[in-house]
Structure 1
Amino acid sequence: MSYKRLVETVSAYEPDEDLQWIIGRITNSKRVIVFGTGRSGDVADAFAKFLRNIGVDQTFGPNDVPYIFGPCDLLVAISGSGSTQYTVEVAKVAKEGGSFIISLTSDQASPLAAISDKIILIPGARKWKESDYFVDNLLGTSKTPLTPLGTLFELRSLLFLLSVISYIRGQELIESYRKLVSLIKEFEPPSDYYELLYEILPKASEYAKQKTTVLGEGLSGIVGKFFSTRLRHLSKGNAERLVYFWLDKGSIAVRRDDLVFIISGSASEFFANLAEKAKNKGAKVAVVTSFQDSRLSKVSDLTLTIPGRQIVKLKGLRSSYFPQDPTYSVFELRTLFFLESFIHYVAEKENISETDMKMMHSDFT
Structure 2
Amino acid sequence: MQTTTYAKEILDELSHTIEVMDDTGIEKLANAIQRVNKIFVAGSGRSGLMAKAFAMRMMHVGLDPYVVGETITPSLEADDILIISSGSGETKSLLSMAEKAKKMGATLALVTTNPSSSIAKLADITVEIPAQAKAEGTSGKSVQPMGSLFEQAMLLLYDSLILRVMNQKGLDSNKMYDRHANLE
Same fold by TM (over 0.5)?
Answer: yes
- Residue matched to 1:300: 123
* TM norm structure 2: 0.85
Q: Distance in 1 between matches of 2:113 and 2:180?
A: 32
- Residue matched to 2:141: none
Report the secondary structure of 1:303's partner residue: strand
Cα distance per residue 1:272-307 (max 9 Å; x no partner): 221010111121110000111111101011000001
- Residue matched to 2:83: 261
Cα distance per residue 1:146-177 (max 9 Å; x no partner): xxxxxxxxxxxxxxxxxxxxxxxxx5211111
Residues 275/341 of structure 1: CA separation in 2 closer, same or farther (3 Å cut): same
Contact 1:286/1:300 (<8 A) preserved? yes
Q: Distance in 2 between matches of 1:178 and 1:308?
A: 17
Contact 2:112/2:128 (<8 A) preserved? yes
- Residue matched to 2:140: none
1:243 paired with 2:65, answer yes
Residues 326/198 of structure 1: CA separation in 2 closer, same or farther (3 Å cut): same
Q: Return 5+ residue gaps in structure 2 as ranges.
A: 137-143
- RMSD over aligned CA atoms reads 2.0
Q: Distance in 1 between matches of 2:168 and 2:156?
A: 18
- Residue matched to 1:362: 181
- Residue matched to 2:58: 231
Residues 327/275 of structure 1: CA separation in 2 closer, same or farther (3 Å cut): closer
Choose the corresponding residue for 2:4, options 167, 174, 192. Answer: 174
Report the secondary structure of 1:312's partner residue: helix
- Residue matched to 1:291: 114
* TM norm structure 1: 0.45
Contact 2:25/2:126 (<8 A) preserved? no
Choose the corresponding residue for 1:331, options 146, 150, 172. Answer: 150
Specify the code of the residue in structure 1 equivalent to 2:8.
R
- CA apart distance, 1:327: 6.8
Choose the corresponding residue for 1:190, options 17, 22, 29. Answer: 22
Q: Distance in 2 between matches of 1:330 and 1:268?
A: 18
- CA apart distance, 1:202: 4.4
Contact 2:22/2:128 (<8 A) preserved? no
The 4+ residue runs of structure 1 with deviation greater than 6 A are none
- Give % identity: 26
Report the secondary structure of 2:119's partner residue: helix
- Residue matched to 1:276: 99
Q: Return 5+ residue gaps in structure 1 as ranges.
A: 1-170, 204-208, 236-240, 314-324
Report the secondary structure of 2:17's partner residue: coil
Contact 2:133/2:146 (<8 A) preserved? no
Aligned residues: 174
